[in-house]
Chain A
Amino acid sequence: MLKKRLIASLVIKNGIVVQSIGFERYLPIGKPEITVDYLNQWGIDEIIMVDIDATREGRCIDPELIKRVAKRCFVPLSVGGGITSVDQIHTLIHSGADKVSLNTQAFTNPSLIEEGARFFGSQCMVVSIDAKRSPDGSYRAYTHGGKTDTALSAAALAEQAQAYGAGEILINSIDRDGHKNGYDIDLIRSLLRTTNLPLIALGGAKDPLSMKALLESCDVSAIAAGNYFHFVEHSATIAKAYLSRYFPEQIRLDSYSDYRDFSFDEMGRIVKKEDNSLRDMLFEFHPKEVI
């Protein structure tokens, strides 16, 4: 059975990974290659890396950066930021990316989706949509890093992207970004109705409980989060261990240390083991996995 993917969304600004809050404020996290290395070891299912300065500066995400991070990335890597041509997609894939993510261009030049799909296949073309709730309750798609109103609903843009040959849609909520108030379920549902492409939900995750709430209410293909992964040791493994308790058939949890035998508190954090179980572990043999 196909599993629900847990995806880390890494926001790059000035060449480093940052925490993004409401598309307005940014806090430094660290080097992209180190972040990727850790997430890979913790059993993340996929990594999306977007350079948010690129479009504004009229350039494409740096292929050299992709080369560096891809060295330690043995999970799929989607990259985005300022991509405007098939040649750039070609260079990025040659540098170690597996898919590309289009945002501004998906609206201003949707034929790039079509051209990209013709050369690289639809499965390579991810369209990422940033949406904001309007006063009338509808969801509008924004481009240029959440600055420009497209006057199009997020759901309509997703439908259009599908018609142009996109292979996946990533929906991000500008209102929820970095605010830890949970995924915007209404927004996500509006896209699930208009497209039958795999949908990745992003924006608002606080902890594994937010992810559980998302899976309970929507049939998304993947759960993405940014900030959550940066501030908790083994974040990806712990989130999966928590989710697999509620959705045992739908989560890939096959890393050697999988936190299966831990308990969780009401915030989805792991709880210290009982003294006697810690004592029993003292003499356990943990062989190194040889490949």
Chain B
Amino acid sequence: MKKIAIIDYGMGNVQSVANALELLGYTATITDNHDLLKASDAYILPGVGAFAEAMNNLRARHLIPFLHTQVIEAGKPILGICLGMQLFLKSSEEMGLHEGLGWIEGKVIAMTPDSTLRVPHVGWNDIVAKEGASLFAGVDQDAHFYFDHSYHVVCEERYISTKCQYGSYELTAALQYKNVFATQFHPEKSQTKGLKLLRNFLNFVEEHPC
């Protein structure tokens, strides 16, 4: 069984993610320690918080170059959740303009509320997964997942594995690029469908060569 680390950078709902993994039979390490992270086979980057604060916290822990080496160069699988997904992009417009990890070309922009559209986009929404979206194997096409966000990801179509409709917004619900996976929704908080998705990620990790 491979070792999973939940990256603890002071931002995420790390315990919720660890609880979900525990139900699936994995004891994840919650840490920001480079040695412990280096010894792990795959990462989960959760996130509840503000973009700038999250990048500051990653920077303070010297995790930006570290994660680049582990994920982009060494090819270890990573799953970003919610803010964790947004951090993978080049930049975000949340409370100013901030640079992200830049692994995926694109940006994070605000959703604008109007008379019919309330922001944040919070609650359970159904998704449409593209063919070959491996995180969604065995998950019904119209399954519901729990979203809670005010900003959304705009990027090239080739990175997007799943979309979701909110008012006039066609939101990026999930990303997949080589060994980099991400969801805007919270699989750890989406009951059985979410747990299935996490199981798919863990299966990918188990079969992944490195």
Contact = CB atoms under 8 A, between A and B. Distances in A.
Q: Which of B118, B125, B196 has the most CB of A within 10 A?
A: B118
B146 A291 contact: no
Name the interface size band of chain B: 35 or more
Given A198-B118, A222-B123, A123 B148 contact: yes
Contacts of A43: 191
B33 interface: no
A5 B123 contact: yes
A166 to B, nearest CB: 10
A95 B124 contact: no
Given A2-B121, A98-B189, A291-B196, A120 B14 contact: no
Contacts, number: 131
Interface stretch (B46-54, B63-71, B101-109): B46-54
B126 interface: yes
Interface in A8-52: 40, 43, 45-46
Interface in A176-203: 196-199
Contacts of A46: 146
Contacts of B15: 67, 70, 94-96
B146 A167 contact: no
Nearest to B144: A252
Nearest to B166: A2
- The B interface, classified by DSSP as helix, strand, loop or mixed, is mixed
B80 interface: no
A123 B121 CA distance: 9
Contact of A74 (B11, B20, B115, B121): B20
Nearest to A196: B113
B143 A120 contact: no
A151 interface: no
A118 to B, nearest CB: 6
Interface string A95-106: 111110000000
A150 interface: no
A75 interface: yes
A119 interface: yes
A87 B58 CA distance: 19
Contact of A168 (B50, B120, B166, B199): B120
Contacts of B10: 90
Given A1-B165, A289-B192, 16 more contacts: A71-B19, A74-B19, A74-B20, A74-B191, A94-B14, A98-B16, A117-B50, A118-B95, A121-B48, A121-B150, A122-B120, A197-B120, A252-B124, A254-B140, A291-B195, A291-B199
Interface of A: 1-5, 40, 43, 45-46, 67, 70-71, 73-77, 90, 93-99, 117-124, 167-168, 196-199, 221-222, 252, 254, 289, 291
14 contacts: A1-B125, A2-B121, A2-B166, A3-B124, A74-B194, A75-B189, A75-B190, A76-B146, A96-B16, A98-B13, A123-B48, A197-B118, A221-B122, A254-B140
